[in-house]
A and B are shown apart, each in its own frame.
Chain A
Amino acid sequence: MLDPSPRELTQNPLRKIWLPCRNGHIVQRRVCMTNCPTLIVTVGLPARGKTYISKKLTRYLNWIGVSTKEFNVGQYRRECMKIYKSFEFFSPDNEEGLKVRRQCAMAALNDVREYLSVKGGHVAVFDATNTTRERRATIVKFAEQNGFKVFFVESLCDDKDIIAQNIVQVKLGSPDYIHCNTEEAIEDFMNRIKCYESSYQSLDEILDRDLSYIKIMDVGRRYLVNRVLDHIQSRIVYYLMNIHITPRSIYLCRHGESDLNIKGRIGGDSGLSARGKEFARRLRKFIQEQNIKDLKVWTSQMKRAIQTAECLGVPYEQWKTLNEIDAGVCEEMMYEEIQEHYPLEFALRDQDKYRYRYPKGESYEDLVQRLEPVIMELERQENVLVICHQAVMRCLLAYFLDKTAEELPYLKCSLHTVLKLTPVAYEVESVFLGVDAVNTHRDKPEVRKHKCLSIDMKS
């Protein structure tokens, strides 16, 4: 591996990363890079939140840059069976049913293998009950054969109210119960759970001591963590220990219109314009009307955001990590000026706005890494209002709405508009507070007909 001759460094013009000229063993630090792919396996009776956890975890991992995909065995079963008749399908005596379910699990595992080994995915989340030791042993063997690491996530809950709530919120709307009324559906589902209960073998302290897993008990009141093997498992554990299901709302908005906004300049650290101040006053009224319990208010450390928060008349916290994207040499310039003085940079940014890093500045990709602690803390908190900036808000929104890196930099985050996010369904309510402001949004430019600058962006 020792290469005798020194390699010349060139800087990739898009990402501003120094790489040796000749292709070599270089890895740009990506958060949570693992050497081998990881298979996360959920364990638990129906209605224990396995799919909720799978989806949330997948969304989080993708957001921080770890390509992740979930594989829900229930989907495979629905595809195979077309019509769901009743809980009898899940009866442990139903030979036919058992065969189909095993086949579906195998089909899902096959797709997992393709995703992790062929398509270059890093993490696969295998979402199924996996309640027997036998089934789990099969999965462990499969993982060993393919060189995957395995991490189990078991969800245990005996609280009848939570289970009932789960069924009402999620199961009733399932394609399985499309033709049933509420009582029928609930009764059938409870029977379905019973089918699994008799054969349920929870992860055991002694028998499963060599496995890597986390047991989540009573919706996060208690956790048991066994043999965390590597960095990504440790991040997953940290994330799972910080999420909760208490109903709450997250409000996202930008600072009020600033003086630089009016001039059409990006970045900088200017104060609010007159309209911006008016927005801040309206925001105060809006917050009061919403009558939110124990609202936390967060801002960046830039003047325009703090001025906005000051108007609210409530305590607020400043986070430097919420500061707007650093535009480096382009700070305080207008887009026209950037195009004139740095035409190459301007073109590059339109080519890949997510990965493009301003000279001596940041990229959206950098922003996401920077904002991860904010997301983690938002997960822990309940009602929060975040007063931030355009690029920052796009990153946060992309996390909550599961947007890709391609979509993220073009999300619409207008001034003087508050987005109210209510979890579980992640519905977004957009409230425009009625104060005009300039439009700072630039759409994705259309694909040009002539030849693009050919720059190797695969770094």
Chain B
Amino acid sequence: MSNTQRDNGSATSAEAKKTDPRMNEKKCSWASYMTNSPTVIVMIGLPARGKTYMSKKLTRYLNWIGVPTKVFNLGVYRREAVKAYKSYDFFRHDNEEAMKIRKQCALVALHDVKSYLTEEEGQIAVFDATNTTRERRDLIQAFVKENAFKVFFVESVCDDPDVIAANILEVKVSSPDYPERHRERVMDDFLKRIECYKVTYQPLDPDDYDKELSFIKVMNVGRRFLVNRVQDYIQSKIVYYLMNIHVHSHSIYLCRHGESNHNVEGRIGGDSELSPQGKQFAHALRDFIEEHKLSDLKVWTSQLRRTIQTAEELGVPYEQWKILNEIDAGVCEEMTYEMIQKTFPEEFALRDKDKYHYRYPGGESYQDLVQRLEPVIMELEGQGNVLVICHQAVMRCLLAYFLDKSAEDLPYMKCPLHTVLKLTPVAYGCKVEMFYLNVEAVNTHRDRPLGKIPRDSDLIHRRNSYTPLSSHDQVKRPRLYSAGNQPWLPLAPTPTALMPEGRPSQPRIGSSCL
């Protein structure tokens, strides 16, 4: 995710830059605007309960909607500290040596969390570990309080042995801990590992000990949820997201409409019909669907003619979504790139500087597109096979969500005409298969321009948020805390106990809140 989520309207922003980076306006991404204090999401659960799956997926989603998020997986830290994993004995609760190492790893990880949230412009850190004891959670809470972060717990509880076994096979067998990959031995060792944790597992207690905490308990892979004390907008989005994702095996097919008449002329946007080649593609697509025996396939299109014409050829019911329409190029609609360069040379240059944030005059940006497409993503997380017939920019945004691409890479992803992408969930990610349906088409892709182009772009910011030049205040003011949110407090030095290896922390100059 791009680091420049900053929005300084003018020269006077140099002043604003002095203070903590968060005090400068983040780019007016609607989602990032809604968060205030950084939040630490703390996963809780026995091994093989899907914590890492949820952590990665949630992180991918939050980054996609514009909230800088990062996962801190304790297993990674542990593997760093203990180069060779021998057996489940390491995880026995009476293994003092190991317990010391594990605690140390937690402290190092928390230190990195703090760095990320305070110095690296992170907004959310996902602390992915078992965190099964109250003692560990109390430690984390002390850390969070110390740094004026918010905390939200996500506990995964599962007692279905089939689900657990499937998890182990799917992800643990290929873990770096088990290089030899002998399934039975892995299964055996891992189940014993789980037993080690069970001894000291203290689940969240909503009625008593943990009733003041903000958390969601996910039970049996989403059959049931308990949600307690959601504090703010981002927590409510997280809850909504976690309640909508499923562990599923269905596939999502993405493709663009068939080649259109405008495509042939090199024009962007508009609402033209399919060219003869485009119509051929539609036929080929129908054959493709038949070949792959996709029963109960949902087909979605935009409300532009070219996608609908493509869907019509399939002879199956389809749904039209206005929000799947191609990016609105505003005044540049229906122009060729050459015409744009000639008529609006400044705009043309601006777009190449920061294609993700650039908004066409009177039109949209990729960033706007992402916001627009969020309901589509939410529904794609539901059940069933879906074929989405859309457009180049739209497909790039959707693909970036599934393949976890940054804002910098998103606008340059290759989505050629007449090619179907099949996305299948696999372990923690997505497998992509590309099917070129053998019908020729023009190439509508423009590569990233060569050479490093300076990122500073006042003009883009003026485009995205009309700061009236007459106003003396060129810098958009930072949010004050809202009702229920803590103000940004000056940072106290971290107590020695929480520092790795008992090192004293450097005192930090606090940043004042406005």
Contact = CB atoms under 8 A, between A and B. Distances in A.
Interface of A: 1-4, 6-7, 9, 11, 16-18, 20, 25-29, 31, 33, 209, 221-228, 230-231, 234, 237-238, 241-242, 269, 271, 293-294, 296, 301-303, 306-307, 310, 315-321, 331, 360, 366, 369, 373, 377, 380-383
Contacts of A369: 322-323
Given A9-B308, A238-B240, A380-B233, A225 B316 contact: no
A221 B236 contact: no
Given A241-B227, A294-B482, A294-B483, A306 B467 contact: yes
B140 to A, nearest CB: 22
A315 B477 contact: yes
B309 interface: yes
A320 B368 contact: yes
Contacts of B477: 315-316
Contact of A225 (B28, B227, B483): B227
Contacts of A360: 333
B224 A226 contact: yes
B224 A225 contact: yes
5 contacts: A221-B228, A224-B225, A241-B236, A307-B468, A360-B333
A315 B477 CA distance: 6
Interface in B242-290: 243-244
A257 B473 CA distance: 22
Given A234-B243, A242-B236, A310-B468, 12 more contacts: A7-B312, A9-B309, A26-B318, A31-B375, A209-B224, A238-B236, A306-B466, A318-B465, A320-B368, A366-B322, A369-B323, A382-B483
Which size bracket describes the interface of B in this complex?
Answer: 35 or more
B316 to A, nearest CB: 6
Contacts, number: 137
B3 to A, nearest CB: 22
Contact of A2 (B244, B303, B316, B318): B316
Contact of B317 (A25, A237, A321, A373): A25
B100 interface: no
Contacts of A6: 312-313
B504 interface: no
Contacts of A228: 243
A264 B223 CA distance: 56
A381 B312 CA distance: 44
Q: Which 6 A-B pairs have CB atoms at the shortest separation, nearest pair first?
A: A2-B315, A25-B317, A29-B321, A225-B225, A223-B227, A294-B483
Contacts of A377: 34, 233
Interface in B26-78: 28, 30, 33-34
A360 B322 CA distance: 12
B479 interface: yes
Nearest to A225: B225
A231 B243 CA distance: 11
Interface string B449-480: 00000000000000011111001010011111
Contacts of A234: 240, 243-244
B239 interface: yes
Contact of A227 (B224, B304, B322): B224
Nearest to B317: A25
B229 A321 contact: no
B424 interface: no
Contacts of A226: 223-225
B432 interface: no
Interface in B230-244: 230, 233, 236, 239-240, 243-244
A26 B315 CA distance: 11
A4 B315 contact: yes
Given A18-B305, A28-B319, A320-B371, A241 B239 contact: yes
B230 A241 contact: yes
A1 B320 contact: no
Contacts of A296: 482
B484 to A, nearest CB: 8
Interface in B295-319: 300, 303-305, 308-309, 312-313, 315-319
B226 interface: yes
A365 B477 CA distance: 33
B371 to A, nearest CB: 7
B382 interface: yes
Contacts of B471: 307, 310
A382 B481 CA distance: 13
A303 to B, nearest CB: 4
Given A221-B228, A234-B244, A1 B317 contact: yes
B228 A222 contact: yes
Contacts of B319: 27-29, 33
B206 interface: yes
A20 B243 CA distance: 37
B379 interface: yes
Contacts of A237: 243
Nearest to A220: B230
A337 to B, nearest CB: 19
Contacts of A4: 315
Contact of A224 (B224, B229, B233): B224
B513 to A, nearest CB: 12
Contacts of B227: 222-225, 241
A171 B119 CA distance: 54
A295 to B, nearest CB: 10
A45 B420 CA distance: 54
Given A9-B309, A225-B224, A242-B236, A1 B468 contact: no
A293 B482 CA distance: 10
A302 B465 CA distance: 8
A21 to B, nearest CB: 11
A293 B243 contact: no
B223 A222 contact: no
